[in-house]
Structure 1
Amino acid sequence: MSSRRIGRFEEGVLWNFGSIGILAVCGLLLLRVIDQLYGTAGLGLFEQTWVVYIFASQLGSGGIDRSALRAVAEHQGDPHEVGRIVASALVPVALQSALTCAALYLTRDFWAGLIEMPELATSLAWALPGLFCFALNKVALGVVNGLQRMRAYAVYQSLRYLGMLAGPFVVHALGWPAERVAFLFTFAEGLLALLLAIELLRVVSAPGGRALAWAREHFRFGLKSMVSGVLLELNTRLDVWMIGLFGYGAVATGYYAVALHIAEGVFQLITVLQSNFNPVLARLLAAGQHAELTAFVRRGMRLTWLVMGAVAVVAVAGYSFGVGVLMGRPEYVEHSFWPFVWLMAGIALAAGYLPFQQVLLMANRPGWHTLFMLASVASNALGNAILIPRLGIAGAALATGSSFLASAVLIRLVAARIAGVRF
């Protein structure tokens, strides 16, 4: 790998770490803002809305965003081919996302009744325009990622977080109740969609030919990976959903949300590495450069463990003080400290493997990736089902933290056997 390529890669990582800094600040402030404007119950309602929103977002994009990322990374030297890849991804995603939004609107009362939270139905309705845009934005960001325009990728991700933070102020200024706080998704994703449309028009060439072959490939890849995408996103909110399912209500969900969001903010450091690693993995796997691939993976693992171990220690040490200042109420620290500890322990111990959990997708093995995700979610769901009735929200955190370790063991075994990637 040339020094120019290494320099560009490292620059992209730094820009995306900066984006994560913005995410962390915006995520923490979002908790405080919603709590101050609408109370702990309002925060809990927003979290439960987010669970369904994330689940539906994967149905909207249908895995085509990852197909576009992989294909663009492999063909980034051919502008017209990239144009065909992008055009053949955006059109079906727009149709699929529209159908998903319609289905969610028609079933919103079912989701509300499932956790006995009737106001969830209204909350979901106000998030739907954002859900439609989110699917298109996923494809556009996948293209930007595949082209390794990581500085632009970081900027657009940052703008999403800033838009989400501004959303509750817009809702409050309009005099709307807590049931409409989820409009922040519509506000943020709508603005981002406009900016990404300009980006694609600027950097992607016209297709210059028929894109039917790529449409079939996107459909094939997406169909095989869609379930894994749903499982991936569901896994990030499975604990929240099961807290509601076992009857702990909006207030307990609100307390848990603080620990979860801060842990997710830390986890975004891994997501940054994954976003930068994925295009390189796709290129090396496609070229059959196994020696360079193994060296790259092992360097990445060492870097991730070093960074995440240090961050986890600092995060746990400063949690009580930070949350006390952030939320302004001691009960948030009292109820969320140990859940945060268990979440961080799982992340830190499994950290080296976590940025490489999409390696099967980058190796064009979406079916195997789906099986891997199914096993990961099953272990998480089983742990939550056992521990939440006994330990409440601390049990949810223990189960979720343990699921990170289970997924690390699984990816080590499956990646070596299926993709020839040695950790």
Structure 2
Amino acid sequence: MSDLIRQFGSQSLLMLSRKIADIALGLGIAVLLARALGPEGQGIYSLAILLPMLLSTFMNFGLAPATVFFASKKDADIDSLVATNLLAGFVLGLLGIAVGLAVVFFAGQTLFVGVATRYLLLAMCMLPIKLTVAFVNGIFHGLKDFAVYNILGLSQKLIFLAVLLAGLFWQVEVWYAIAGMLAADSIQLLFACVVLRHKGYHLFRLRDIQPQLVKQAISYGFRAHLSNILAFLNYRLDMFILGAMTNPAAVGIYTVSVRVAEQLWIFSSAISSVLLPHIAGMEDEEARRSMTSLVSRNVLWLSVVAALAVWGLSFVLVDALFGQAYHQAAAVLRILLPGIAVGGMARILSNHLAGIGRPQINMYFAMGTVSMNVVLNILLISRLGVAGAALATTITYGANALGKVLFFWLVLRFPLRGFLLLGKEDAALYRRLLARVGRRGGKENLL
């Protein structure tokens, strides 16, 4: 168990380092877009790319999490997963474009108020690429090849940032930002395929596809799929409702608040990415419970401390990074922070459920939270505007976290203190971590 935790700690530290770089690049992109486009242009851009993001969630049919699950198994046939995922990415992507075209031409001006059709059509070109990248990256994720997984994740943002910086020599407009993201996605996919070939895997060799593995992946993926759709809606449906009930400028303000707030998920995002393949590959139930408890309580309190710091600095951060045009976003950010803090812990618990082969439990929770989110957004936006969307999000995230805590305590019989409250072993963990940071020539292991 100690060797496993050492490996988990080392991989989590690597993932955390990637997330820190991810935040730096993401903030750079957010600042450039916000200042170049202004609140209204930022809102139009956010709504335009929301369509392919939504369709990629609907059209992946759970293949991405299924890939992580099956690639983490000792007897995984990686060539079969590669062939299946590349083919599925392009086929499902083309089907998604057909669906997207129908949405744009029949309901575009109703769902995307103030967004020109040409922006929506350009953004739709991202869909096959984003799906295929997600499927391929799931292979490296399941194999615990976090070096490649991290490089692939960072490459897209690094390229996009470079494109935006190049655009500063002339005026950056909405079309340029969308085209820049499309170019970054395309280069990321090309890089992923090059890495696969370098590692000896075959691309598009259809005879490698195993019908039995496809059947198992569909079975697992279907159970995870609806949960992922609902989770995405829970994260982004507020933008649809806000855009329909207000205007693109309000969406732009809200987008900036959300982007800053979601940086607090650095701990949960980094560690849960490592947790899922570890939990899926473990057979000792007690070891699973122990690892999830350790991760859950530490992510919770790290997120709370980070939220308090951001709350105190919110106006300074927003004004310094985005300018006075986004000053209102600081107050909205403060409303979002409590939900974001507890939402990180809920993500850890969700990945435990997915890792033990019960993703349908996440689906049941997501159904309730999406319903709550829609009702609260409609009620609160009409009264409070942008602040109402933030309050609806915080209440929904809080309810989701509370529900999962009760489920783990009452149904899975996790000791409540074990995954909520820090103990002596956590203090010892941090002392060892600080000691290793102080010893520059020390080993890389956390424990």
Residue 410 (str. 1) matches residue 410 (str. 2): no
Given the superposition, is the C-alpha separation of residues 126 and 387 from structure 1 closer, same or farther in structure 2, using an over 3 Å criterion? same
Question: Aligned partners of 1:152, 1:407: CA distance in 2, in Å?
Answer: 32
Contact 2:79 2:208 in 1 (8 A): no
**Other-structure match for 1:380:** 373
Q: Deviations over 1:332-391 (max 9, x none)?
A: 12x112211121111224543332213332222343332222122112222212211111
Conserved 8 A contact 2:82-2:201: no
Q: Which residue number in structure 2 is paired with residue 144 of structure 1?
A: 140
**Aligned-pair RMSD on alpha carbons?**
2.5
Retained in 1: the 8 A contact 2:86–2:135?
yes
- Which segments of 5 or more consecutive residues in structure 2 lack a partner in the other structure? 420-447
Q: Is the 8 A contact 2:342 2:401 kept in 1?
A: no
Secondary structure, aligned partner of 1:148: coil
Letter in 1 for 2:139: V
2:368 paired with 1:369: no
Amino acid paired to 2:92 = Q
1:332 aligns with 2:326: yes
Name stretches of at least 5 consecutive residues in structure 1 with no aligned partner: none
Per-residue Cα deviation, 1:374-413 (whole angstroms, up to 9, x for no partner): 1221122222122111111111111101111111123234
Give % identity: 20
Q: Which moved more, 1:289-298 or 1:174-183?
A: 174-183
User: Aligned to 2:187, what secondary structure does the other structure show?
Assistant: helix
Q: Number of residue pairs matched?
A: 413
Q: Compute the displacement of 1:73 (Å).
A: 0.9
Q: 1:305 aligns with which of 286, 300, 304?
A: 300
CA contact (8 A) 1:115 1:245 kept: yes
Which whole-Å CA distance do the structure 2 matches of 1:176 and 1:111 have between them?
A: 28
**AA matched with 1:151:** A
The residue matched to 1:361 in structure 2 has which SS? helix
| Kept in 1: contact 2:51–2:124 (CA 8 A) | no
Higher mean alpha-carbon deviation, 91-100 vs 158-167, is at: 158-167
Aligned to 2:174: 178
Give yes or no for the alignment of 1:67 onto 2:66: yes
Deviations 1:40-78 (A, max 9, x none): 211111111232222111123221011010001123xx4
The answer on whether the counterparts of 1:127 and 1:184 sit within 8 Å (CA) in structure 2 is: no
Contact 1:64 1:93 in 2 (8 A): no
Of 125-134 and 217-226, more deviation after overlay is shown by 217-226
Tell me the residue number matched to 1:52: 51
Deviation at 1:276, TM superposition (A): 1.0
User: Equivalent residue of 2:144, what SS?
Assistant: coil
Change (3 A) 1:370 1:323: same
Residue of structure 1 in register with 2:438 after alignment: none
Secondary structure class of the residue paired with 1:164: helix
Native 8 Å contact 1:122 1:180 kept in 2: no
Cα separation, partners in 2 of 1:174 and 1:393, compared to 1, 3 Å = same
Shift of residue 18, structure 1, vs aligned partner: 2.0
Take 1:114 and 1:165, find their aligned partners in 2: how far apart are those partners? 31
Q: What is the distance in 2 between the residues matched to 1:160 and 1:191?
A: 8
Asked if residue 240 in structure 1 is aligned to residue 239 in structure 2, the reply is: yes
Looking at structure 2, the residues matched to 69 and 418 of structure 1 have their Cα atoms a distance apart, in angstroms, of: 26
**Residue 273 (structure 2) aligns with:** 275
The residue that corresponds to 2:194 in the other structure is: 198
Whole-angstrom CA distance in 2 between matches of 1:111 and 1:265: 33
CA separation of 1:116/1:305 partners in 2, compared to 1, >3 Å: closer, same or farther? closer
Deviation sequence 1:94-136 (CA, Å, 0-9, x none):
2111110222133223453124535342222212232211111
| Structure 2 SS opposite 1:364 | coil
TM-score by length of 2: 0.85
Deviates more, 1:201-210 or 1:351-360: 201-210
Q: 1:101 to 1:205 in 2, by over 3 A?
A: same
CA deviation profile, 1:130-173 (whole Å, cap 9, x unmatched): 22111111111111111111222222211122123234456676
The alpha-carbon deviation at position 180 of structure 1 amounts to 4.5
Paired AA for residue 291 in structure 1? E
1:2-401 superposed matches below 5 A: 2-3=2-3, 5-75=4-74, 78=75, 81-115=77-111, 117-169=113-165, 177-203=173-199, 205=201, 211-246=210-245, 248-284=246-282, 287=283, 289-329=284-324, 331-333=325-327, 335-401=328-394
Distance 1:337 1:177, change over 3 A: closer
Name the SS of the counterpart of 1:26 in structure 2. helix
Asked if the contact 2:265/2:344 (under 8 Å) is kept, the reply is no
Q: 1:218 to 1:116 in 2, by over 3 A?
A: closer
Give the 3-state SS of the residue equivalent to 1:74 in structure 2.
coil
Q: Which residue type is aligned with residue 15 of structure 1?
A: L
Contact kept, 8 Å, 1:127 with 1:182, in 2: the verdict is: yes
Aligned partner of 1:157: which letter? G
Partners of 2:104 and 2:120 within 8 A in 1: yes
Structure 1: distance between partners of 2:210 and 2:119 = 38
Q: 1:221 to 1:142 in 2, by over 3 A?
A: same
CA 1:107 to 1:171, structure 2 compared with 1: closer, same or farther past 3 Å? farther
Residue type matched to 2:54 in 1? Answer: F
Q: Is the 8 A contact 2:39 2:326 kept in 1?
A: no
